């Protein structure tokens, strides 16, 4: 019998909980009554479930089962009546009370509205609640557990001096309150709401014994207007033997903080202040999968960081309650969308990882239009712009915005897979099918490009932006606000620009016009084959300086870039401040532009440029040249100011000259190069240095201060004292040689007379 009852109690509780969240319940003014009844049902359900698991029913249990079933039927009837009556008066529902920050009352309870039906149905629900509590007394107790409440705490915890937060089950009185209490309630609650805005700390209720102070306090405490406006509420019942420390600990516990064994008043006050005024919450990198809606109670919170919470897929609607929030970090999460209520956080100055829209076009997702009121933003990172419905005015009214990241979802690249499939397919039918699939994919890309261009053209970032990142842009030409002749007027303060994965754009904007630009990085621009004068933004008749303040330029993963020209008229100045140039994974680039010869470069980094055959004529390159995995590189020449050179896996290199100031040389020869090339390397791997290296060391004997080599063990051992290449090593003031696996080494310092090694041949070491 208990098995059937268990499911019936759960069904009634679920129906009550659903009704408690409906507008009809609020319109009737009985939400507190319903929640109180829910609390009683929850306790009863725990006992019923336990008895069902035990499968043991005594005659006394059978008696309370019958009584409980009767009451459950009444709950069903009451719910039907409430739903019908609530539907009639929804139109007269009251608007919500204004929001304030926080308040405390140390004596409190509940509200009964003036409406006739409210009284009647409220009395009925309270009567059912009382009857359920009487049945509860007849039920067998739950077994003791290590963390279970003390005896008597299961019911009527108001009398057991427990504290609670306002979002828990509301405390219920045992009888209706008088008209005088109701009248006082009607006057005091609005006053408390008004005074609460002034942050009044204490509001006292005084009077003779028995006049109803506690009853009035509890009615205020549980009044819906109070719980809506004061997110953190704590009820503590005073007693004569309650110490000041114990009193504070009860308040702190009610605010959700563990005070431990602390008895010091000052410490307790500090904990209480921390609980109520928490301003910083960092959950970065945790396994958090669900942020509770109670986070909305942290009304003083100013920083909420959830970066790297990869399991987090949803934010609660209550995040819009954090009106004091200044910084919200969402980057690196798995959020499907961000609630549009985020747009109500008008004091935000840092917002990262903002997901636009939602996959199923749910209206709850934040769209660009919801950003209009966020006028204090300094840092804004927007993702999934491809789901935006409109970009118009989204970035207007952002006069303080300094850093702006704009990103769409990365397009799926299937070209390489399609090419492989085509190579393996045979017959005209398959070929025709492939052509059709390619055309379909092209149409999809064309549509995506048009939609992308429309949204981005409408955005128009404010001219206060100092750093701009554009990522995964799917348009075929850059937005109008980047391509026009007034580019510098649009971005007079722009110092850092990063264009990443703009794979469909075939030409670059005239970025040389940006007068304040200090750092430029262009990555994954697969459709760009050549960079020419359009990039500089200069004309034949122009006397302007191109890139007047640019210090760092990086070109990365541009797999189709073949030609790069920096040609300008003699009267024009190019890259006068460039200090660092990085070219990485541009496998088709044939040569460095001649215009670099006038740039006062400090460091040049070239990696993965497999068609580049020489590095030459850079008279002002001074600090470092780093070369790695440049398979076709044959020559390095005329770098008279260079001090440091690193060559890593450039196995075809044959000529190195014109390095008059070279002081530091570092070479890396990975084992993979052994199988690639011919005559000279065969000799090299037979423990001879390549000819260019011996010549360079001989010519630089008086200038080269340090030589580092990473190589295979045979060559390393040839550099041991008395070995074939020892005469080369001993010319250099400082030498460090390590084996490829890092286990063997030679260390030599000529001036300090240091010679150390663990690489002696076995026969010599025995």
pLDDT number for residue 4: 59
Could you tell me if 254 and 276 are in contact, meaning their C-beta atoms sit under 8 angstroms apart?
A: no
Q: Which domain holds residue 48?
A: 1-84
Within the chain, which residues score under 70 in pLDDT?
1-5, 52-62, 90-119, 142-179, 194-202, 207-211, 227-232, 240, 254-258, 272-276, 361-363, 391, 412-445, 539-543, 570-571, 671-687, 701, 761-766
Question: What pLDDT does residue 112 have?
Answer: 36
> How far is the C-alpha of 493 from the C-alpha of 747, rounded, in Å?
51
Token reading at 560: 């189709």
- Tokens 């140390």 belong to 106
DSSP string over 670-714: -GGGGGT--HHHHHHHTT---HHHHHHHHHTTTT--EEEEEE-HH
- Terminal C-alpha separation, the chain: 89
Domain assignment present for residue 268? The answer is no
261 within domain boundaries: no
Is 4 exposed, middle or buried (CB count within 10 Å of its CB: 0-12, 13-18, 19+)? exposed
Inside any domain, residue 531: no
- Please state, in angstroms and rounded to a whole number, the distance separating the CA atoms of residues 405 and 401: 11
Residue 739: count other Cβ atoms within 10 Å of its Cβ: 20
Q: Report phi then psi at 353, rounded to 5.
A: 70, 30
State pTM to two decimals.
0.67
How many angstroms from the chain centroid is the CA of residue 24? 39
Q: Structural domain tally of the chain?
A: 3
- pLDDT of res. 442: 59
9: closest CA among 33, 43, 45? 45
Residue 441 lies in a domain: no
- The answer to whether position 712 is within a domain reads yes
Q: At what angle do helices 213-221 and 179-196 cross, to 10 degrees?
A: 50
- The answer as to whether 465 is a domain residue is yes
The last residue of one of the domains, among 32, 58, 84, is 84
Last residue of a domain, one of 475, 491, 522: 475
- Domain limit, last residue, from 28, 58, 84: 84
Tokens standing for residue 730: 């001993």
Domain-located, residue 745 = yes
Q: Which residue has the tokens 């712009």?
A: 385
Question: Residues 537, 520: contact at Cβ < 8 Å?
Answer: no
pLDDT 10s digits, 180-203: 777 777 878 877 776 554 455 567
């Amino acid at each position: 019998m208990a098995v059937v009852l268990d499911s019936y109690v759960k069904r009634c509780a679920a129906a009550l909980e659903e009704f408690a969240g409906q507008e009809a319940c609020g319109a009737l003014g009985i939400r507190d009554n319903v929640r109180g009844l829910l609390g009683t049902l929850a306790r009863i359900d725990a006992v019923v479930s336990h008895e069902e698991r035990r499968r043991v029913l005594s005659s006394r249990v059978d008696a309370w089962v019958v009584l409980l079933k009767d009451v459950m039927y009444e709950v069903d009837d009451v719910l039907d009546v409430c739903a019908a009556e609530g539907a009639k008066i929804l139109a007269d529902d009251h608007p919500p009370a204004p929001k304030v920050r926080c308040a405390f009352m140390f004596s409190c309870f509940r509200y009964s509205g003036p409406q006739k039906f409210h009284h009647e149905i409220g009395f009925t629900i309270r009567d059912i609640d009382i009857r359920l509590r009487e049945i509860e007394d007849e039920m067998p107790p739950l077994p003791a557990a290590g963390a279970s409440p003390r005896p008597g705490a299961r019911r009527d915890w108001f009398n057991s001096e427990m504290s609670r937060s306002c979002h828990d089950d509301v405390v219920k009185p045992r009888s209706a309150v008088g008209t005088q209490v109701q009248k006082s309630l009607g006057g005091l609650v609005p006053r408390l709401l008004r005074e609460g805005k002034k942050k009044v700390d204490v509001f006292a209720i005084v009077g003779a014994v028995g006049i109803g102070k506690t009853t009035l306090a509890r009615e205020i405490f549980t009044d819906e207007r109070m719980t809506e406006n004061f997110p953190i509420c704590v009820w503590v019942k005073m007693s004569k033997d309650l110490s000041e420390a114990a009193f504070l600990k009860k308040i702190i516990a009610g605010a959700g903080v563990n005070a431990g064994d602390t008895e010091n008043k000052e410490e307790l006050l500090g904990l209480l202040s921390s609980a109520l005024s928490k301003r910083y919450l960092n959950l970065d990198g945790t396994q958090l999968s669900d942020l509770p809606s109670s986070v909305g109670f942290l009304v003083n919170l100013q920083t909420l960081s959830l970066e790297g919470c990869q399991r987090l897929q949803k934010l609660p609607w209550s995040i819009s309650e954090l009106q004091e929030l200044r910084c919200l970090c969402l980057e690196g999460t798995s959020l499907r969308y961000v609630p549009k209520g985020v747009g109500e956080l008008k004091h935000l100055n840092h917002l990262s990882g903002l997901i636009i829209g939602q996959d199923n076009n749910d209206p709850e997702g934040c769209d660009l239009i919801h950003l209009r009121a966020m006028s204090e933003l300094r840092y804004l990172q927007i993702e999934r712009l491809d789901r935006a419905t409109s970009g118009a005015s989204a970035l207007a009214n952002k006069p303080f915005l300094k850093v702006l990241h704009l990103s769409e979802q990365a397009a799926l690249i299937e070209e390489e897979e399609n090419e492989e499939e085509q190579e393996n397919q045979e017959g005209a039918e398959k070929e025709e099918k492939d052509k059709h699939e390619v055309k379909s994919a092209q149409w999809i890309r064309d549509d995506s490009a048009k939609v992308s261009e429309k949204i981005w053209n409408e955005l128009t970032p404010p001219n206060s932006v100092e750093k701009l990142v554009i990522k995964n842009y799917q348009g075929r030409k850059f937005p109008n606000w980047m391509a026009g002749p007034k580019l510098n007027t649009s971005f007079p303060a722009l110092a850092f620009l990063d264009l990443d994965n703009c794979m469909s754009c075939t030409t670059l904007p005239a970025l040389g016009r940006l007068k304040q630009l200090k750092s430029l990085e262009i990555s994954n621009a697969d459709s760009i084959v050549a960079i020419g004068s359009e990039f500089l933004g200069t004309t034949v008749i122009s006397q302007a300086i191109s890139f007047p303040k640019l210090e760092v330029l990086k070109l990365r993963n541009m797999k189709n870039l073949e030609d790069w020209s920096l040609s300008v008229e003699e009267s024009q100045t190019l890259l006068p401040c460039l200090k660092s140039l990085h070219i990485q994974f541009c496998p088709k680039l044939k040569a460095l532009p001649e215009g670099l010869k006038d740039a006062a470069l400090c460091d040049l980094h070239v990696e993965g440029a497999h068609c580049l055959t020489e590095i030459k004529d850079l008279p002002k390159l001074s600090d470092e040249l780093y070369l790695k995995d440049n398979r076709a590189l044959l020559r390095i020449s005329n770098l008279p100011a260079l001090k440091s050179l690193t060559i890593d896996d450039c196995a075809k290199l044959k000529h190195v000259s014109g390095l008059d100031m070279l002081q530091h040389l570092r070479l890396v020869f990975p084992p993979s190069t052994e199988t690639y090339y011919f005559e000279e390397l065969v000799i090299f791997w037979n423990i001879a240095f390549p000819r260019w290296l011996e010549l360079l060391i001989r010519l630089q004997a008086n200038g080269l201060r340090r030589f580092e080599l990473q190589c295979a063990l045979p060559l390393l051992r040839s550099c041991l004292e008395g070995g074939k290449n020892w005469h080369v090593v001993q010319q250099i003031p400082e030498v460090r040689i390590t084996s490829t696996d890092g286990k063997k080494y030679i260390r030599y310092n000529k001036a300090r007379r240091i010679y150390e090694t663990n690489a002696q041949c076995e026969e010599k070491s025995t």
